[in-house]
């Protein structure tokens, strides 16, 4: 198959969506499928990248590390004519997501949409954040989902949420798989030496963007309390983002700076070594649709302590491969981390082995196979493209229709968002 992916975030941006798109593309290509990625430019360039069309974009939108794609030129149409896609896969309901809808309608192709994100948790990146804006993005994503041939949900709990919100299109759970070999056999000793962590320290680790929606203040407070109780506890934070200075200040205020280790963004072997250096992975985000970092940590044999939320409850089995906390309070999180700390060696090994088994269940190979089966079911429902004059006129009509659907979806979402009595369900 020839698959075109449209995403508002992609490499070199470090984030869940970018990593997911890249992981699936690599696996599809390995199996002989052709993939063309359409993504914004970023200030940092990737030299000699193949099968990627970059769209001009505004850099560092509203002080974040995101890029916002600008209107397209005719170059993309030419690239698509040459590529001859069989299927369009959109990874956002807005910006390039709108372009994906136009492409699918005008070329009479199936449109798959992955609902990666609970968008209402990210409205703080936009000026004039409000409850109305949160309702608007929920409505927009729901209405967009109903224009897709199929919706991929990263977890079953998100699939259930989308149905509750009024998504009528077929929904399938397709998590992003973990490439097991990328996270196994790391050198944790080297990572500890590099970042000044004592060899015998108990390391609570975290990896991800250091951003408000990750609830890192909550996790940091719990780790600080654990440090006060146990003098050999250290906190290893892998990643970068706007909350970095806030975390530094918090540990400095409590006199724990020497036990906080901010590594910055790590990739490849360095990232694998960092996971291996951890004794437990701490995760307090409630905004995830899938906890990709949880399966990565487990692939390195690291148990996870996480709050019960979408994207976590499908991965963490309480007291089997980590701890899953039903109560979202700091005391419970401290107690769970302390529980892992206090485990006898034999019990910790059982926890680690169970984490490895969970990661195998979420392997990239398994997840890609599920996605491809759904792709094939959609492609087989569509006839080859007709190039007759009549068909060209019909495609133009479809293109105009897609533009109307976009306008109708946006205005409908705005109307619903401004209605204070709106139930949260789309009426489309």
Q: How far apart are CA 270 and CA 252, in angstroms?
A: 26
Mean pLDDT, rounded, for 40-52: 85
Q: What pLDDT, in 10s, does the model give residues 144-200?
A: 999 999 999 999 989 999 999 999 999 999 999 999 999 999 999 999 999 999 999
Place of tokens 């959609």: 378
- State the chain's mean pLDDT as an integer: 87
**Preceding amide of 244 cis, omega within 30:** no
The neighbouring-strand residues paired with 151 are 113, 171
Residue 401 has pLDDT above 80, yes or no: no
Q: Is the domain 2-177+365-417 a CATH 3.30.450.70 member?
A: no
What is the C-alpha separation between 91 and 8, in angstroms, rounded?
7
- pLDDT of 387 above 60: no
More confident residue, 286 or 194: 194
Q: In this structure, what DSSP letter does residue 336 have?
A: H
- Give mean pLDDT, residues 241-268: 96
Return the CA Rg of the chain: 22
Which region among 16-20, 170-174, 327-331, 346-350 has the lowest average model confidence (pLDDT)?
Answer: 16-20
Residue extents of the structural domains in the chain: 2-177+365-417, 180-359
- Is 180-359 the same fold as 2-177+365-417? yes
E strand or H helix that includes residue 305? strand 304-307
The answer to whether the CB of 310 falls within 8 A of the CB of 155 is yes
Among 95, 101, 52, residue whose Cα is nearest residue 72? 95
pLDDT band at 213 (very low <50, low <70, confident <90, very high): confident
Look at residue 262 and tell me whether its pLDDT is greater than 70.
Answer: yes
Helix (H) or strand (E) holding 224: helix 216-229
Q: In whole angstroms, what is the distance from residue 262 CA to residue 394 CA?
A: 56
When pLDDT is averaged across residues 277-286 and rounded to a whole number, the result is 96
Cα–Cα separations (whole angstroms), residue 23 to 68, 177, 254, 365 = 22, 8, 40, 10
For residue 62, pLDDT beyond 50: no
What pLDDT is stored for residue 427 in this prediction?
52
Q: Quick one: pLDDT at residue 366?
A: 94
pLDDT digits (tens, 9 = 90+) for 332-368: 999 999 999 999 999 999 999 999 999 999 999 999 9
SS3 content of the chain, % helix, strand, coil (to 5): 45, 15, 35
Q: Whole-angstrom Cα distance, residue 352 to residue 173?
A: 26
SS3 263: strand
Give the distance from CA 33 to its chain's centroid. 23
Q: Which fold has domain 180-359?
A: Rossmann fold (3.40.50)
pLDDT-derived band of residue 405, with 50, 70 and 90 as boundaries? low
Q: What's the rounded Cα separation, in Å, for the pair 41 and 419?
A: 37
Tracing tokens 């139930």 back to the chain, one arrives at: 423
Query: What is residue 153's DSSP assignment?
Result: E
In the prediction, which pLDDT does 390 show?
44
11 versus 372: which is more confidently predicted?
Answer: 372
Give the CA dihedral 167, 374, 174, 3, nearest 10 degrees. -100
Longest dimension (CA), the chain: 77
* Comparison of pLDDT for 334 and 57, the residue scoring more: 334
């Amino acid at each position: 198959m020839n698959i075109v992916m449209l995403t508002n975030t992609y490499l070199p941006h470090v984030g869940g969506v970018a990593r997911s798109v890249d992981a699936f593309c690599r696996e599809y290509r390995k199996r002989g499928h052709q993939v063309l990625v359409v993504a914004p430019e970023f200030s940092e360039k990737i030299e000699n990248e193949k099968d990627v069309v970059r769209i001009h974009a505004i850099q560092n939108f509203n002080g974040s590390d995101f890029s916002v794609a600008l209107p397209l030129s005719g170059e993309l149409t030419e690239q698509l004519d040459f590529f001859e896609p069989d299927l369009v896969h959109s990874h956002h309901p807005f910006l390039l997501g709108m372009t994906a809808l136009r492409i699918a309608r005008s070329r009479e192709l199936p449109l798959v949409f992955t609902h990666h994100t609970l968008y209402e948790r990210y409205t703080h990146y936009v000026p004039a954040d409000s409850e109305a804006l949160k309702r608007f993005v929920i409505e927009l994503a729901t209405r967009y989902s109903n224009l897709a041939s199929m919706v991929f949900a990263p977890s079953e709990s998100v699939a259930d949420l989308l149905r509750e919100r009024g998504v009528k299109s077929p929904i399938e759970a397709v998590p992003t798989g973990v490439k097991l070999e990328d996270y196994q056999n790391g050198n944790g000793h080297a990572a500890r030496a590099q970042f000044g962590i004592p060899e015998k320290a108990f390391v609570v680790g975290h990896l991800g963007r250091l951003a408000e929606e990750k609830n890192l203040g909550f996790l940091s407070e719990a780790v600080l309390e654990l440090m006060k109780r146990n003098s050999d506890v250290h906190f290893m934070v892998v990643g970068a983002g706007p909350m970095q200075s806030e975390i530094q200040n918090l540990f400095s205020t409590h006199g724990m700076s020497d036990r906080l280790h901010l590594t910055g963004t790590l990739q490849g072997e360095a990232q694998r070594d960092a996971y291996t250096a951890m004794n437990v992975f701490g995760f307090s985000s409630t905004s995830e649709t899938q906890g990709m970092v949880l399966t990565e940590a487990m692939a390195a044999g690291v148990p996870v302590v996480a709050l019960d939320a979408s994207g976590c409850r499908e991965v963490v089995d309480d007291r089997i491969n980590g701890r899953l906390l039903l109560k979202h309070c700091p005391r419970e999180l401290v107690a769970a981390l302390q529980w892992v700390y206090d485990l006898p060696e034999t019990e910790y090994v059982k926890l680690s082995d169970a984490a490895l088994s969970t990661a195998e269940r979420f392997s990239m190979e398994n997840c890609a196979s599920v996605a491809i089966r759904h792709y094939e079911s959609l492609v087989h429902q569509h006839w080859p493209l007709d190039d007759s004059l009549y068909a060209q006129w019909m495609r133009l009509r479809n293109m105009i229709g897609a533009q109307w659907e976009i306008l109708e979806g946006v205005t409908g979402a705005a109307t619903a968002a401004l209605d204070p009595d709106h139930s949260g369900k789309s009426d489309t």
